[in-house]
Structure 1
Amino acid sequence: MADYNYSAFSSADYDFTTASGPAVGAKAPDIEVTTLSGVKRRLLEFDGDFLVLELGSITCPLFQTRRKAMAAMDAIYPNVASAVLYVREAHPGIDIPNHDGFEQKQACAQRLAEVDGETREILVDDFDGSGHRAFGGMPNAVFIINRNGCVVFRAAWNNPKVTKSALDALIAGRPATTKNYFRPATPKIAVQTLRKAGKGAAVDFFKSLPALVWQNVVKRNLRVLFNRPQPVAPDMTC
């Protein structure tokens, strides 16, 4: 992540093979975030038994594909906090370019709420991506954090069905051990997202598509198949 706010996407900007960020059972980074109203606070200052934290941006097709299911999930768990950590643009283009300052990043996060209709709380990472890096740097990772600030479920790529299954288990007092297989973005939403980003976004995406398929659909899913999730107690301390 030498050039964190890259102007053109490349699969080389991400490490798809190494699991980084807080592991299951570890303390979640209590990063400083900014709300859409401009108030700064700590991430772990949340109300509820758990926090479901999804990383995303308006130019990320995977994030856009998951939003409807995640919003529906948020609506049925009154004792669970749900938030989006707004990170760098996954696929910047001429119309939605890479951020050149925090104000532009804040404006993109505002657009996610006002134009795209995101209903969950949106927390904006700092310009240099300190929080994004602390949580592993993937564009659409998801973490479930308990009241003690411990990570009790994590996935490098969000799969809403698996995230919901994990949350159901945790609420019921069981460890979240459901395997999280990578699922591609919906083609229609992917095209809409890249088109909205503007010229350059689609070209960069499709140039890296073979590497993305190999690293995630094939290699990552094989690792998930043969690995056993680590069980931790929902109310663990760390």
Structure 2
Amino acid sequence: MTSKRVSTYYEKSLKTSLKSERQQMYNYSQFSAKGYDLSNFRGPLPGTSAPDFSLALVDGGQARLLDFAGAFLVLEMGSLTCPLFQGRRSTMGALHDMHPDVSFAVLYVREAHPGQDIPAHGSAQDKHSCAAQLAADSEKRRVFVDDIEGTAHQAYGGYPNSVFIVNRNGCLVYASDWNNPAVTGRALSLLKSGKSVNLKAWFKPVRPSVSLKILRAGGKGSMSDFLRGLPRLIWNNLVLRNIRLLRGKPVAVAPDTLC
């Protein structure tokens, strides 16, 4: 083998190794609150272009994330093992029915609290299977499946249950690191009436019974990892985040803005 071929071989091996390492870091097998920067929202902000990707659809084929027919797109991040996402599904489903002129979609991301029964995704097929399970559980919204490295998810900030509203120009007109369905619904009504949104989405936990049900479904490890990180989650979300919202001023963007 020539020196050039040897060099090319090792370059490819290094790239493969780094890709595998990034994949494993993203798809953590044990949840830790330290793995999330919950004090600062890292996702795209209102008034900026919404990231667009060609993604797999849970029912087959591919589509552009921003190729939607409605007046707006309401995009929520979610997974089977995210109690917040699961606890909000019925309310989001009601919003879906209430606004037939708006497109709604879920971006299936990594498992928030993987366990023995619903482990971290080891392959694209694993991820697709979990997304299919979600879709089969009376999910009304279109379900996109992110790639195994979470490329789209990370472009949107990497939070387990963030939500975004995108206008027909591909611009973000509302964003929140945690979905508060009541606020999301009010934001959508304001936007449809031609008004800018200037709302604060306070963090709202789901009922303990919902969290217990979802974490038990995840299997061994899901509950214990969550409880271990619970004090930090409470401090960062119910205290620090809400203080940050109290002091801050939301960015209000016109519903038909160009970016």
Q: Given the two structures, how large is their TM-score scaled by the length of structure 2?
A: 0.90
Q: Is the 8 A contact 2:92 2:181 kept in 1?
A: yes
Higher Rg: 2
Give aligned-pair identity as a percent.
Answer: 50
Aligned residue runs from structure 1 range 173-192, under 5 A: 173-192=194-213
Q: Is the 8 A contact 1:71 1:120 kept in 2?
A: yes
Q: Is the 8 A contact 1:32 1:125 kept in 2?
A: no
1:76 aligns with 2:98: yes
Which residue in 1 is equivalent to 2:108?
86
Residues 188-236 of structure 1 deviation map (CA, whole Å, 9 limit, x = unaligned): 1100000000000000000000000000000001111111111111000
Local SS of the residue matching 2:143: strand
In the alignment, the residues of structure 2 paired with residue 38 and residue 4 of structure 1 have an alpha-carbon distance, to the nearest angstrom, of: 24
Which residue in 2 is equivalent to 1:105?
127
Q: Which letter maps to 1:27? A: S
In the alignment, the residues of structure 2 paired with residue 18 and residue 147 of structure 1 have an alpha-carbon distance, to the nearest angstrom, of: 28
In the alignment, the residues of structure 2 paired with residue 121 and residue 69 of structure 1 have an alpha-carbon distance, to the nearest angstrom, of: 16
Listed as ranges, the gaps of 5+ residues in structure 1 are: none
- How far is the alpha carbon of 1:182 from its aligned partner? 0.3
1:220 aligns with 2:207: no
Which residue in 2 is equivalent to 1:47?
69
Local SS of the residue matching 1:223: helix
Local SS of the residue matching 1:228: coil
1:56 aligns with 2:78: yes
Larger fraction in helix: 2
Which 4+ residue blocks in structure 1 deviate beyond 3 angstroms? none
Aligned residue runs from structure 1 range 55-204, under 5 A: 55-114=77-136, 116-204=137-225
In the alignment, the residues of structure 1 paired with residue 178 and residue 63 of structure 2 have an alpha-carbon distance, to the nearest angstrom, of: 26
Query: Structure 2 residue aligned with 1:34, among 56, 67, 87?
Result: 56
Q: Which letter maps to 2:254? A: A
In the alignment, the residues of structure 2 paired with residue 187 and residue 97 of structure 1 have an alpha-carbon distance, to the nearest angstrom, of: 22
Residues 15-39 of structure 1 deviation map (CA, whole Å, 9 limit, x = unaligned): 1122212111000001221111221
Q: Which letter maps to 1:230? A: V
Residues 125-151 of structure 1 deviation map (CA, whole Å, 9 limit, x = unaligned): 111000000000000000000000000
Q: Which letter maps to 1:17? A: S
Residues 63-94 of structure 1 deviation map (CA, whole Å, 9 limit, x = unaligned): 01110000000001111000000000000000
Larger mean Cα displacement after TM superposition, 133-142 or 17-26: 17-26
User: RMSD of the alignment, in Å?
Assistant: 1.0
Q: Is the 8 A contact 1:34 1:124 kept in 2?
A: yes
